[in-house]
Amino acid sequence: MPITVVGSIAFDAVKTPFGERERMLGGAAVHFALAASFFQEVRVVGPVGEDFGEAELDVLRRRGVDVSDVERIPGGKTFFWRGEYGWDLNSRDTLDTQLGVFEGFQPKLSQRSRSSEVLFLANIQPDLQREVRAQLPDARFVALDSMNLWIDIARDSLLSAIASVDCVILNDAELRQLTGKPNLLTAARELLSLGDGSPQPGGRARGPRVIVAKQGEYGEALITGESFFALPAYPLETVIDPTGAGDSFAGGLLGYIAAHPSEKLSDELLRGAMAHATALASFNVEEFGTERVERLTAAEIAARVEELRAITQFSGAPVELRD
């Protein structure tokens, strides 16, 4: 099943303890699309400015990504983000965000983008996420990401966007901030109880049924109404730039789900999706921006998923325990 994504298409300036880039291709939709392109065709929706060149679009085209709904706004400036990381790569400072062409952007999705059955609402203004969600009313699986900025300035709109999706992917700190609940499980349960009540294809009521809590270098947890699953991040000795890790993770997760069109959203399917998502995110952080994922191969992903399988399974027999 093809996947549509809406979100930032950006130029990023990033500094980490291991180097810096002054202007590189970035944006949540870009990181997502590159990762998901290993599974299915991806259609990217979003605006860019006149400063965005063919060379940047070619990075996506080379991975077979459909960029026909990337709208170039005459006279506009591409979304720009500047961030800096200290030794703790789990936390970063945003030094500058320039929405540029995203200000006043009205998403007009082509028939092709509207026909996708899987949709990712990457981190962007929740109003925009809702507008795009409304244009794919029959999508079978819709996931959403967000960030502290939107929780601070557009909480109500974000909550209505969340009520209209199947899956919410947030950092653990954002989950706590959004729900006001210090405990991750309780916070996830609160989101699982949201829903806008409208019927969905298949008869079930609309609303989140899968919550993913990202915990940076510690991995991620998946919570549904009935189950819990967690994986560590793939252990890497060299992490250069975590920017886009969350979006690459989401690309792996939704890509895997889209690649299994006739399967129900079982625990087995979700666990396979988590493993592939974790593998994709781990490649993303090995170099700056999109540099590593641009060179990634299917065989490398498959090998890393097998390594993850090996390091997360245990088979020790139960031992007789003393009371």
Which residues of the shown chain bind ligand AMP in the complex (CB under 6 A)? 8, 10, 12, 26-28, 81, 97, 123-124, 149, 243-247
3-state class of 234 per DSSP?
coil
Taking the complex as a whole, the smallest distance from the CB of residue 306 to ligand AMP amounts, in Å, to: 25
Taking the complex as a whole, the smallest distance from the CB of residue 265 to ligand AMP amounts, in Å, to: 23
* β partners of residue 94: 83
Q: Residue 21 and residue 125: Cα distance in Å, rounded?
A: 26
- The H or E element spanning position 190 is helix 184-192
Nearer to ligand AMP, 92 or 181 (CB): 92
Q: Is 51 exposed, middle or buried (0-12, 13-18, 19+ CB in 10 A)?
A: middle
Nearer to ligand AMP, 34 or 124 (CB): 124
Taking the complex as a whole, the smallest distance from the CB of residue 40 to ligand AMP amounts, in Å, to: 20
Nearer to ligand AMP, 1 or 151 (CB): 151
Taking the complex as a whole, the smallest distance from the CB of residue 19 to ligand AMP amounts, in Å, to: 16
Taking the complex as a whole, the smallest distance from the CB of residue 121 to ligand AMP amounts, in Å, to: 11
Nearer to ligand AMP, 164 or 171 (CB): 171
Q: Residue 31 and residue 128: Cα distance in Å, rounded?
A: 19
Radius of gyration of the chain, Cα coordinates, nearest whole angstrom: 19
Nearer to ligand AMP, 1 or 170 (CB): 170
Give residue 229's identity as a one-letter amino acid code.
F
Nearer to ligand AMP, 28 or 222 (CB): 28
Q: How many Cβ atoms are within 10 Å of 313's Cβ, its own excluded?
A: 7
Nearer to ligand AMP, 7 or 195 (CB): 7
- Strands (E) across 17-61 are located at 19-26, 42-48
Taking the complex as a whole, the smallest distance from the CB of residue 21 to ligand AMP amounts, in Å, to: 11
In the sheet with 19-26, reading across from the earlier edge strand, the strands are: 19-26, 10-16, 79-85, 92-98
Crossing angle for the helix pair 54-61 and 28-36, nearest 10 degrees? Answer: 30
End-to-end CA, the chain: 53
Query: Residue 237: what are its φ and ψ, rounded to 5°?
Result: -85, -25
Taking the complex as a whole, the smallest distance from the CB of residue 246 to ligand AMP amounts, in Å, to: 3
Taking the complex as a whole, the smallest distance from the CB of residue 138 to ligand AMP amounts, in Å, to: 26
Nearer to ligand AMP, 122 or 191 (CB): 122
Q: What is the DSSP letter of 322?
A: P
